[in-house]
Amino acid sequence: MTLAPPPSSRVQLTDDGKLRHFLSVEHLSRSLLEDILDTAASFVDVGGRAIKKVPLLRGKTVVNLFFESSTRTRSTFELAAKRLSADVLNLDIAKSATSKGETLLDTLRNLEAMAADMFVVRHQDSGAPFFIANEVTPGVAVINAGDGRHAHPTQAMLDMYTIRHYKGGFAGLRVAIVGDVLHSRVARSQVHALNILGAEEVRLIGPRTLLPVAAAESLGVTVCHDMAQGLKDVDVVIMLRLQKERMDSAFLPSEAEFFRLYGLNNEKLRHAKPDAIVMHPGPINRGVEIASEVADGPRSVILNQVTFGIAVRMAVMSMAISGQESSQNPEQGDQHGR
């Protein structure tokens, strides 16, 4: 099935501009993205408490609807929901009715009959979360946990949180995104978020076979095929995973050749600024995209991205539920106390 996402984000917002669903960062305002980051900041210390819970989603039911396998994204969404005191249902798609011929819409209707309040959707088809958001009963929020090659908005926002945490802001920043951009929904969301938040320059670095040059240039980025040139004086280096499950051998001669030209090691990292940070959305392939000396080195913030990801997903989930409640009851106040 091919589900094209809609051209605008109107479905994501309430009439008064609050978050109703979170499907893509594209077309969202800078103030809304900053609100997500600020809300996440209020949740970061929850994981360090003796009781790792806040009551914002108490009595709510969150369904993790993953049509694609994922360990990191699914587990952080589950932790985020539980830390918000929600009840969580992890649907095993491999054993669900869709594998037996039931349509996506029929599955959705059955889950709604169980009084679900939120669907966290990961799907192999671009646009599937938009389709679900357009079909759900009013009052049910939908969060995109990655769809096809289109978008991964919560990953982009946890990356933005990480950058802001270490760099203080986005003004004047040069950010390099390196590797398999062609197959990466994360890269697309990162580019949109960085441009909205005011980064000075976004560079995409990789072989010609893995860079969608025409599409990339329309996004207002700089395209580089040489690692040294692309990394020169950047403040942030984001390495991407090779999406081997979405490509064939025609895209690159070998993993060893890819690492020689585009894998990040300490020698290549010297071209970046001395205080540049290194990021990766995970899971990392050591010796393919990144050397262990960098992944485990002092400039790596990869594990911190995972920690911040829980707080960011808590922020998005709580804001979406709040937006749904305010759209159902316009006189209701802000549930976050902000």
122 is in an annotated binding site: yes
pLDDT at 252: 65
Alpha-helical (H) ranges within the chain are 30-41, 72-83, 104-113, 128-135, 153-167, 185-197, 213-218, 227-231, 255-262, 266-269, 292-295, 302-328
pLDDT at 5: 55
- Residue 7: pLDDT band (50, 70, 90) is very low
pLDDT at 97: 52
185 is in an annotated binding site: yes
- Residue 244: pLDDT band (50, 70, 90) is low
- Which residues have CB under 8 Å from 245's CB, separation 6+? none
203 is in an annotated binding site: no
Q: Which CATH number fits domain 10-151+306-328: 3.40.50.1370, 3.30.1490.190, 2.60.120.560, 3.40.190.170?
A: 3.40.50.1370
User: Given this chain, do its domains 10-151+306-328 and 153-302 carry the same CATH topology?
Assistant: yes
Q: List, for residues 131-154, the tens digit of each pLDDT value.
A: 999 999 999 999 999 998 899 999
pLDDT at 99: 56
Q: Which two tokens stand for residue 183?
A: 């197959």
DSSP 45-105: GGGGSSS---STTTT-EEEEEESS--SHHHHHHHHHHHHTT-EEEEEEGGGSGGGGT--HH
Residue 22 near residue 327 (C-beta atoms within 8 A): no
**pTM, full prediction:** 0.91
- Residue 280: pLDDT band (50, 70, 90) is very high
152 is in an annotated binding site: yes
274 is in an annotated binding site: no
283 is in an annotated binding site: yes
Q: Which two tokens stand for residue 160?
A: 């933005």
| Domain segments of the chain as ranges | 10-151+306-328, 153-302
Q: Which CATH number fits domain 153-302: 1.20.210.10, 3.40.50.1370, 3.30.70.3270, 1.10.40.30?
A: 3.40.50.1370
For the CA atoms of 224, 226, 228, 232, the dihedral, rounded to the nearest 10 degrees, stands at -10
pLDDT at 282: 86
Given a cut of 50, whether residue 108 has pLDDT beyond it is yes
Given a cut of 70, whether residue 92 has pLDDT beyond it is no
